[in-house]
Structure 1
């Protein structure tokens, strides 16, 4: 047998992403097992009953736990074919159970093989995790309470730096009828190294669970990027935004559905503006509902007379480089059918990239007047401006083009109407495009990614 140097084995392992395939390499020979054991567990995906297997592997070989750096967790059901042994882990239950009743229920659920219960047992071994991916169907009785203990450095985390290196978290809901509760994820904001948090869908509205995790003090989190896809933030994600010391990137796409099939809450721009204003010194990228819903059947009953449909000026956001926002939100239409401000009154001089979403034909005169005034003062007011995009409400689809979605194109009358503006942009060296959703730029009859 040809002996491969360890460096070559590591290069091979770096190109194998399937967890089972990576672990199979440990079975080849003793040399491979010794060399690859820590490396094989650096990046793993664990689903359902596999959590128990991982916990047992770490219990037998403690080097595995501190080797895990990129962890993908998916909750799942139990497996009746497995005989779950709780005995080696009872010390964790003793240390981390807030009550005797909780401990009893936890042990019962471990014996049944519930993945949420076993994930809580796994957590004390996650000392080196930097990237965490989460996908689970709903409320957690054990993992998230354990997460809160880790964030507070309570037993059994008072002597081990569990998740203290955590840098990035991404949570994706498994079922379309479920939304993550915003307050359930608050413990993540307390970890000292976290810089990126992404979740979809997320809900700040009503819930049936008595979860009261502590909020971080304003300006204490190191998070620099927040992303919420197809979510419902009735309070403008204020706890997450204001906790940041220097937030640089914020994206939020709205879904009117707060609780599936029961409660609907419309987009509330003012709540987001109030929260984002605390980050005016650092925010560089703002993508605020350029692809989400705005109006619908609203079940919100406000206790005051504040018009939450309004927004505010971004003039003081001196670091803002990229802005993607519905036209009527940016120009503060509110509940009226006319703008309260012009682009010159709301855009900061630092802006480089502007996307006006939700453009309708009836807005043409307003858009042209504002953009021509803006470009006319480009040198004095917007010296860094490089890119302008229009996102029409209506685009055309050509199903004759191969591919799952065909090709999209901007209607001819819209392209023709904006031709003079495009010429003005060309003269100024500004890139002008039509876009479908911010990720697909429409060029003539075709569609490309950027």
Structure 2
């Protein structure tokens, strides 16, 4: 096919980059030989693999054409479907010289080769990705689902950090900046106790900590993590292979942990970050070793970053059980501590009992206006009980009225709690029609209590949002 008019390749590539759908980019390479040669590298910039068949094809392609491996910027296995390879297919794969070569270059012994084979045959994404990683020298983003124990992936990451084979020819992952790690067992069984198997805590921590040691890392997202600080303290030093992180050694500026357990405030992770700007943490007591959410532990850890931290989300929609392995679970309602000295903090999302010291009284021991930083722009308060609405409104009104002198950058306030009108079913009213829509409105007394704050915010040009946990309202009620 001859193009009726010629556009420079740079212009065509810019047009191709505007196609967000990967399928549309893929279709470009079938238009003509010219388009195939031009746009093939564009197709390989973002690679999404969902199963072993795609992984095998990808490894073959980048092994045969190393130039394609060098254009890969993002590798996404977040939707990986773990499935064992049928025996007939596995017999064919074992005879593939390319696959054999990748395993051999990554293995140091026959035992390791056997382990690779077993994990690949089970269709484990962490094993397949471990074969690819040494080839992807220009990778920027990595999203993966892994299982524990992730022997092959852990092994490859440790060798990358140590510049050992298969990374001895050049430093590994020099451009990798964003990583998301999702634990497979948690995703498959979100209500089950995570990490029940012996050694799985150490396995997860070793994998996570390896990314903290890479030179260009900026952002890490993970789920179902047990605090590596408590592991390094409580584990046997003779058998634990997890190396502690040096203070300030990591370039990571964003940490986002969901359904995790930070018994010691994730101190090892936070302390390793030289310039932490965003920390988001969602607690879960589903982990067998959880001692409950302990806000004061996070306060001690985050104090290290009080001059750099800009975004802080603490325990939004966390899971708190009445009892944990430590006994009666009461620490989750502790006061976090004053945030006034966090001089760069712009956005705060925090539960009311952690924001204000109201554990044993109806009024806080320290006024809210004295606990917030001057740099504050957005304040989102979770978990406000109905009995505390009046108190919180009063505290926030003081903040709003003093915004010019104390909080000149403040622009948005949000309050979340159990504020929805109960439905007929919830009230046990069997006479209500089943076809009647649910009453998804804020209780009138909540609206009335918040009205003075709404008037203050409107006069000040601030946004006010009042939310129920089950749904979100538009600005103001």
Deviates more, 1:175-184 or 1:266-275: 175-184
Question: Could you give the per-residue CA deviations for residues 73-131 of structure 1, whole angstroms, max 9, x where no partner exists?
Answer: 23622322421146445565555445552233224544676543332221111111111
| Per-residue deviation, 1:366 | 2.6
| Per-residue deviation, 1:407 | 8.0
CA distance in 2, matches of 1:386, 1:95: 56
CA distance in 2, matches of 1:167, 1:13: 21
CA distance in 2, matches of 1:194, 1:425: 40
| Per-residue deviation, 1:15 | 1.6
| Per-residue deviation, 1:265 | 4.1
Matched position secondary structure for 1:38:
helix
* Residue 76 of structure 1: aligned partner: 82
Question: Could you give the per-residue CA deviations for residues 334-370 of structure 1, whole angstroms, max 9, x where no partner exists?
Answer: 5777644221332112212212211112113431332
| Per-residue deviation, 1:234 | 2.1
Question: Could you give the per-residue CA deviations for residues 200-240 of structure 1, whole angstroms, max 9, x where no partner exists?
Answer: 33333899997633233111211111111232222222222
Residue 12 of structure 2, aligned match among 8, 25, 28: 8
Matched position secondary structure for 2:324:
coil
Residues 112-123 of structure 1: pairs in structure 2 closer than 5 A: 114-123=124-133
Structure 2 unmatched ranges of 5 or more: 196-200, 425-436
Residue 310 of structure 2, aligned match among 264, 268, 284: 284
Deviates more, 1:95-104 or 1:316-325: 95-104
Residue 66 (1) aligns with residue 70 (2) = yes
Q: CA RMSD in A?
A: 3.4
| Per-residue deviation, 1:152 | 3.0
Answer yes or no: is the 8 Å Cα contact 1:408–1:442 preserved in 2. no
Residue 380 of structure 1, aligned match among 382, 405, 429: 405
Distance change >3 Å, CA 356–CA 109, structure 1 → 2: closer
Residue 150 (1) aligns with residue 160 (2) = yes
Residues 128-207 of structure 1: pairs in structure 2 closer than 5 A: 128-173=138-183, 174-175=187-188, 176=190, 177=192, 178=194, 181-204=204-227
Residue 213 (1) aligns with residue 242 (2) = yes
Residue 452 of structure 2, aligned match among 420, 425, 430: 420
Matched position secondary structure for 1:72:
strand
* Residue 346 of structure 1: aligned partner: 371
Residues 306-317 of structure 1: pairs in structure 2 closer than 5 A: 309-317=334-342
Distance change >3 Å, CA 395–CA 133, structure 1 → 2: same
* Residue 448 of structure 1: aligned partner: none
Matched position secondary structure for 2:220:
strand
CA distance in 2, matches of 1:167, 1:397: 46
Answer yes or no: is the 8 Å Cα contact 1:254–1:289 preserved in 2. yes
Residue 42 of structure 2, aligned match among 26, 39, 42: 39
Matched position secondary structure for 2:127:
helix
Matched position secondary structure for 1:251:
strand
Distance change >3 Å, CA 79–CA 10, structure 1 → 2: farther
| Per-residue deviation, 1:185 | 1.1
CA distance in 2, matches of 1:389, 1:9: 44
* Residue 254 of structure 1: aligned partner: 283
CA distance in 1, matches of 2:43, 2:358: 55
Question: Could you give the per-residue CA deviations for residues 235-291 of structure 1, whole angstroms, max 9, x where no partner exists?
Answer: 2222221111111111112222114xxx65422111211111110010011111132
Matched position secondary structure for 1:172:
strand
Matched position secondary structure for 1:58:
helix
Distance change >3 Å, CA 149–CA 70, structure 1 → 2: same
Distance change >3 Å, CA 395–CA 202, structure 1 → 2: farther
CA distance in 2, matches of 1:309, 1:86: 59
Answer yes or no: is the 8 Å Cα contact 2:334–2:359 preserved in 1. yes
TM-score by length of 1: 0.84
Deviates more, 1:7-16 or 1:140-149: 7-16
Answer yes or no: is the 8 Å Cα contact 2:145–2:181 preserved in 1. yes
- Count residues with an aligned counterpart: 434
Question: Could you give the per-residue CA deviations for residues 151-173 of structure 1, whole angstroms, max 9, x where no partner exists?
Answer: 33222213234321011112334
Structure 1 unmatched ranges of 5 or more: 400-404, 446-450
CA distance in 2, matches of 1:27, 1:213: 48
CA distance in 2, matches of 1:234, 1:131: 29
CA distance in 2, matches of 1:16, 1:169: 21
CA distance in 2, matches of 1:69, 1:211: 34
Matched position secondary structure for 2:67:
coil
* Residue 402 of structure 1: aligned partner: none
| Per-residue deviation, 1:317 | 0.5
CA distance in 1, matches of 2:363, 2:206: 37
| Per-residue deviation, 1:135 | 2.0
Residue 267 (1) aligns with residue 277 (2) = no
CA distance in 2, matches of 1:141, 1:18: 32
Answer yes or no: is the 8 Å Cα contact 2:126–2:147 preserved in 1. no
* Greater percentage in strand: 1
* Greater percentage in helix: 2
Answer yes or no: is the 8 Å Cα contact 1:328–1:339 preserved in 2. no
